[in-house]
């Protein structure tokens, strides 16, 4: 099992460790609810070094990315980040990802930990069409980079103490290359997977220990805490953010998943599955991903059946939990389109009981 450069800190702090995507990762420290509230109200630190990072470089980098990803990479300017996905050529999704534009010929892709090898092989298979040299123009740096996500309303205020660059006023989905905590060439971005504000900090593995200590020192006066994967999941679910393997996968299209906004049918962009997705959009969908909250008391879980008032199965839960902020069961799932409008009445089958829920507009938790 792999370790991240921060694993020793998690163990020293008494985290409950679990195997996750081949890594030894902290699932919780003081408890999911406590950690969740810390991020919503103050700031918390996630070790996300298990995520993958791939560089795409050269004069054909843009053409390659326009083909393998669904969003319009040409719309990016230097210092901007874009959420996107890789269509799989069969109507589904290889993975979702972030695309960072450093300059016109340099892009950093951030991919899911569980899919690093799968994504890499997918990109390598399409690289020859664009003359990209694997290992040079297309480079997998996943094992060389450590990453911390500092999330919460006080995160940027605390992190501003560690750099002379202006980070507190950074816009959502932007990044800078800066000197931070005395470490050069840090990538500092503001994307977030919690809906609570904050940043991500990328550094070389050798600088990880210095980064960890500086971040916790800077955040001490604001009540900073380390946060595990458990709260990461409840935080993203309250926001209605998709998790690969749950809400999106090789069989779900981005259109069905409500990701039409990252699927750009621009004339200048020819991407994998473009014709299929245009057809899907024109002919109508068989299922749609929705967010819902429980009306009756109960906690929805992945794979629970979703039914109508007559007891007919109309879909399946993809993610579910007890919301630490709302104190009720919440979830996401695919339903037939006629049940996808906000306030539609649905029922979740929990322990042989059909419990009432209602479809809500995302995010599920409204601050």
Q: Tokens 């053409």 belong to which residue?
A: 63
Here the tokens at position 334 are 């695919």
Burial class (CB in 10 A: 0-12, 13-18, 19+), 225: buried
Q: Which residues of 37-56 are buried (b: 16+ CB within 10 A; e: fewer)?
A: bbbbebbbbbbbbbbbbbbb
User: Could you tell me if 322 and 311 are in contact, meaning their C-beta atoms sit under 8 angstroms apart?
Assistant: no
Between CA 31 and CA 152 the distance in angstroms is 17
Q: Is the pLDDT of residue 72 over 90?
A: yes
Q: What is the pLDDT of residues 105-123, one digit of tens each?
A: 999 999 999 999 999 999 9
Contact at 8 Å (CB) between 150 and 219?
yes
Write out pLDDT tens, residues 29-45: 999 999 999 999 999 99
Which is it for strands 313-322 and 329-335: parallel, antiparallel or unpaired? antiparallel
The per-residue pLDDT of the chain, averaged, comes to 98
Angle formed at CA 219 by CA 184 and CA 5, multiple of 5 degrees? 55
Strand ranges (E), the chain: 16-20, 23-28, 44-47, 52-57, 81-87, 93-103, 106-111, 138-140, 145-151, 175-180, 183-189, 198-204, 225-227, 288-294, 305-307, 313-322, 329-335, 345-350, 353-360
Calculate helix-pair angle for 116-126, 61-68, nearest 10 degrees: 120
SS3 state of residue 13: coil
Ranges of beta strands (E only) in 120-214 are: 138-140, 145-151, 175-180, 183-189, 198-204
CA distance 296 to 223: 35
Mean local confidence (pLDDT), 167-180 = 98
pLDDT tens digits for 73-110? 999 999 999 999 999 999 999 999 999 999 999 999 99
At 125, the pLDDT band (50, 70, 90 cuts) reads very high
List of domains in the chain: 7-51+144-238 (3.30.1360.120), 52-140 (3.30.70.1400)
Q: What is the pLDDT of residue 367?
A: 82
Is residue 58 a contact partner of residue 105, using CB atoms and an 8 Å limit?
yes
The percent of residues in the chain predicted with pLDDT above 90, rounded, is 99
Confidence of residue 131 (pLDDT cuts 50, 70, 90): very high
For 223-232, how does the pLDDT look when each residue is reduced to its tens digit (9 = 90+)?
999 999 999 9
For residue 95, what pLDDT is reported? 98
In this structure, what token pair is assigned to residue 95? 């993975």
DSSP 27-70: EESS-HHHHHHHHHHS-EEEE-TTSEEEEEESTTHHHHHHHHSS
Give the mean model confidence (pLDDT) for residues 348-358. Answer: 97
Q: What's residue 204's pLDDT?
A: 98
- The pLDDT score that the predictor gives to residue 113 is 96
pLDDT digits (tens, 9 = 90+) for 202-251: 999 999 999 999 999 999 999 999 999 999 999 999 999 999 999 999 99
Give per-residue pLDDT as tens, 247-288. 999 999 999 999 999 999 999 999 999 999 999 999 999 999
φ/ψ of 214, rounded to 5, equals -65, -40
Distance between CA atoms of residues 202 and 219, nearest Å: 18
At 345 the three-state DSSP class reads strand
| Model confidence band, residue 138 (pLDDT cutoffs 50, 70, 90) | very high
In 3-state terms, what secondary structure has residue 215? helix
Q: Residue 309, SS3? A: coil
Cis peptide before 363 (omega within 30 of 0): yes
């Amino acid at each position: 099992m792999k370790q991240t450069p921060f694993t020793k800190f998690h163990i020293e702090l008494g985290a409950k460790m679990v195997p996750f995507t081949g890594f030894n990762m902290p699932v919780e420290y003081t408890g999911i609810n406590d950690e969740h509230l810390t991020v919503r109200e103050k700031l918390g630190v996630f070790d996300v070094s298990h995520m993958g990072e791939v560089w795409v470089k050269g004069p054909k980098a843009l053409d390659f990315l326009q083909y393998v990803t669904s969003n319009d990479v040409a719309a990016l300017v230097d210092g901007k980040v874009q959420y996107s996905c890789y269509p799989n050529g069969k109507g589904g999704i290889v993975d979702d990802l972030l695309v960072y534009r450093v300059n016109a010929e340099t892009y950093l892709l951030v991919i899911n930990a569980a899919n690093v090898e799968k994504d890499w092989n997918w990109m390598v298979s399409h690289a020859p069409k664009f003359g990209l040299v694997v290992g040079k123009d297309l480079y997998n740096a996943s094992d060389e980079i450590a990453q911390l996500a500092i999330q919460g309303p006080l995160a940027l205020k605390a992190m501003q103490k560690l750099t002379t660059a202006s980070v507190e006023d950074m816009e959502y989905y932007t990044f800078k290359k800066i000197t931070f905590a005395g470490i050069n060439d840090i990538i500092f971005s503001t994307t977030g997977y919690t809906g609570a504000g904050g940043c991500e900090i990328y550094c070389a593995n050798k600088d990880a220990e210095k980064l960890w200590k500086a971040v916790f020192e800077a955040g001490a006066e604001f009540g900073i805490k380390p946060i595990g994967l458990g709260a990461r999941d409840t935080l993203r679910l309250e926001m209605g953010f998709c998790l690969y393997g749950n809400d999106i996968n090789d069989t779900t299209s981005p259109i069905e998943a409500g990701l039409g906004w990252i699927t750009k049918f621009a004339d200048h962009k020819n991407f994998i599955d473009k014709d299929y997705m245009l057809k899907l959009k024109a002919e109508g969908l068989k299922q749609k991903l929705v967010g819902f909250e429980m009306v009756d008391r109960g906690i929805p879980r992945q794979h629970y059946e979703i039914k109508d008032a007559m007891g007919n199965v109309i879909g399946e839960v993809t993610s579910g939990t007890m919301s630490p902020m709302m104190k009720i069961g919440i979830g996401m799932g695919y339903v037939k389109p006629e049940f996808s409008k906000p306030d539609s009445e649905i029922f979740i089958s929990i322990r042989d009981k059909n419990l009432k829920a209602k479809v809500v507009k995302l995010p599920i938790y409204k601050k």
